[in-house]
Chain A
Amino acid sequence: MNWRHIQLIYHREMRDQLRDRRTLFTIAVLPLLLYPLIGLLMMQVAQFNREYSVRIRIVGHENWPETLPLLDAQRKLVVSSTSTELSRLIEFSTEPWPSDANTIEELRQQASSAVQLDLVDAVLIVKPDFQQRMQNRLAAEQQVDSQSPSTSQSDSPLDASITGDKITGDKIAVNQLKQTPAPESASEGLELVANLARDHSQLAQRRLQRVLDAWLNSWVSSELASAGMSTNLIAPLMIAQTDTSPDSVRRAMLWSKVLPFVMLVWALTGAFYPAIDLCAGEKERGTLETLLSSPARRNEIVWGKLLTVATFSISSALLNLFSMHATAGLIVKQLALAGSSQAVDALGPLPIQALGWLVLLLLPMAAFFSALALAVAALARSTKEGQYYLMPLLLVTLPLVSLPMIPSLSLNLGTSLVPVSGAVFLVRSLIEGRYAEALMHLPVVVMVTVACCLLSIRWAIRQFESESVMFRESDRWSLQSWLHQLWRDRGMTASPAEAILCGLIILVAMFFAQFMAGSSIADWGSVVSMTVSVQVGLILTPCLLMAIFLTRSIRHALRIHHVQPSHLAAAICLGVTLHPTYTALGNAIRYVYSLGDQIQAALAHFSQLIYAQPLWAVLALLAVLPAVCEELTFRGFVFGGLVKQGGALRAILITSLFFGFTHTILQQSIAACIMGLMLGVIAWRTGGVICCICVHVINNVLSIGLAWMPANHYDLPPSLSWCLRVEADAWVYQPQWQTISVGIALVMVALLFLRSPATQRVVQVEAL
Chain B
Amino acid sequence: MVEVDQLTKSYPDLLAGQFVALDHVSFSVQPGQIFGLLGPNGAGKTTALRILSTVLQPTSGIARVNGFDVTTHPYEVRHSIGFVSSNTAIYDRMTAWEMVEYFGKLYGIPNDRLTERMEKVFADLQMNEIRDVAGARMSTGMRQKVSIARAIVHDPPVLIFDEASLGLDVMVARALLDIISGLRANGKCIIFSTHIMREVERLCDRVAILYRGRILASGSLPELEDQFGEADFEELFFKLLNESDRVRIEDAHSAPTLSAAIAGSSAITAGSGI
Please give the residue numbers on chain A whose beta carbons come within 8 Å of chain B beta carbons, in ascending order: 4-5, 8, 12, 16, 19-20, 285-287, 289-290, 292-297, 467-468, 471, 476-477, 481-482, 485, 488-489
Contact = CB atoms under 8 A, between A and B. Distances in A.
A477 B55 contact: no
Nearest to A482: B14
A20 B15 CA distance: 41
Contacts of A287: 88-91
A481 B14 contact: yes
Interface stretch (B32-40, B79-87, B169-177): B79-87
Interface stretch (B99-107, B193-201, B247-255, B259-267): B99-107
Given A292-B55, A293-B88, A481 B15 contact: yes
Given A20-B93, A467-B56, A295 B15 contact: no
Contact of A295 (B91, B92, B108): B108
A467 B57 contact: yes
The 9 closest A-B pairs by CB, nearest first: A286-B89, A290-B88, A293-B83, A293-B53, A19-B93, A289-B87, A294-B106, A295-B78, A292-B55
Interface in B30-79: 50, 53-57, 75, 78-79
A6 to B, nearest CB: 11
A220 to B, nearest CB: 77
Contacts of B79: 295
Contact of A293 (B15, B81, B89): B81
Contacts of A16: 91, 93-94
A289 B57 contact: no
Nearest to B108: A295
B11 A467 contact: yes
Given A16-B94, A285-B91, A467-B11, 13 more contacts: A4-B108, A12-B94, A286-B87, A287-B88, A290-B150, A293-B54, A293-B81, A293-B83, A295-B106, A295-B107, A297-B75, A467-B56, A471-B50
Contact of B75 (A4, A295, A468, A482): A295
A482 B13 CA distance: 10
A5 B11 CA distance: 31
Given A16-B94, A20-B93, A293 B108 contact: no
B256 interface: no
B229 interface: no
A286 B86 CA distance: 9
Nearest to B154: A295
Contacts of A468: 11
B90 A289 contact: no
Contacts of A488: 17
Contacts, number: 72
Interface string B226-261: 000000000000000000000000000000000000
Contacts of B94: 12, 16
Contacts of A4: 105, 108
B103 A294 contact: yes
A610 B135 CA distance: 78
Contacts of B90: 287, 290
B55 A289 contact: yes
Interface residues of B, number: 33
B106 A293 contact: no
B106 A296 contact: yes
A548 to B, nearest CB: 22
Contacts of A289: 55, 85, 87-88
A8 B102 contact: yes
A741 B102 CA distance: 69
B92 A285 contact: yes
B55 A476 contact: no
Contacts of A471: 50, 56
Contacts of A19: 93
A12 B88 contact: no
A293 B55 contact: yes
B85 to A, nearest CB: 6
A20 B12 CA distance: 39
Contacts of B83: 290, 293
Given A289-B85, A482-B14, A488-B17, A294 B78 contact: yes
Nearest to B55: A292
A481 B150 CA distance: 42
A481 B16 CA distance: 10
A489 B17 contact: yes
Contacts of A286: 87-89
A465 to B, nearest CB: 10
Interface in B1-41: 11-12, 14-15, 17
Contacts of A296: 106
A12 to B, nearest CB: 6
Contacts of A297: 75
Contacts of A481: 14-15
Nearest to B93: A19
Q: Among A290, A467, A477, find the residue whose CB has the most chain B CB atoms closer than 10 A.
A: A290
22 contacts: A4-B105, A8-B102, A12-B102, A16-B91, A16-B94, A285-B89, A285-B92, A286-B89, A287-B90, A287-B91, A289-B55, A289-B85, A293-B78, A293-B88, A294-B106, A295-B78, A295-B79, A295-B106, A295-B108, A297-B75, A467-B11, A481-B14
A484 to B, nearest CB: 8
A19 B134 CA distance: 11
A446 B83 CA distance: 44
A295 B87 CA distance: 18
A290 B108 contact: no
A477 B13 CA distance: 10
Contacts of B75: 295, 297
Nearest to A18: B93
Interface string B101-120: 01101111000000000000
Contacts of B17: 485, 488-489
Nearest to B9: A467
B105 A8 contact: yes
Contacts of B15: 476, 481, 485
A5 B150 CA distance: 16
A467 B10 CA distance: 12
Contacts of A467: 11, 56-57
Contacts of A8: 102, 105-106
Contacts of B56: 467, 471
A492 to B, nearest CB: 17
B244 to A, nearest CB: 24
Interface in B96-149: 102-103, 105-108, 147
Given A12-B102, A297-B75, A481-B15, A290 B93 contact: no
A186 to B, nearest CB: 72
Contacts of A489: 12, 17
A33 B107 CA distance: 43
B219 to A, nearest CB: 29
Contact of B106 (A5, A20, A476, A482): A5
B230 to A, nearest CB: 34
Contacts of B108: 4, 295
A287 B99 CA distance: 11
A290 B90 CA distance: 8
B113 to A, nearest CB: 16
B14 to A, nearest CB: 5
Interface string B199-240: 000000000000000000000000000000000000000000
A544 B50 CA distance: 44
A4 B111 CA distance: 13
A378 to B, nearest CB: 15
Contacts of B89: 285-287, 290
A722 to B, nearest CB: 61
A20 B134 CA distance: 13
A471 B53 CA distance: 14
Contacts of B147: 290
Contacts of B105: 4, 8
A154 B150 CA distance: 96
A763 B107 CA distance: 48
Contacts of B55: 289, 292-293
B242 to A, nearest CB: 27
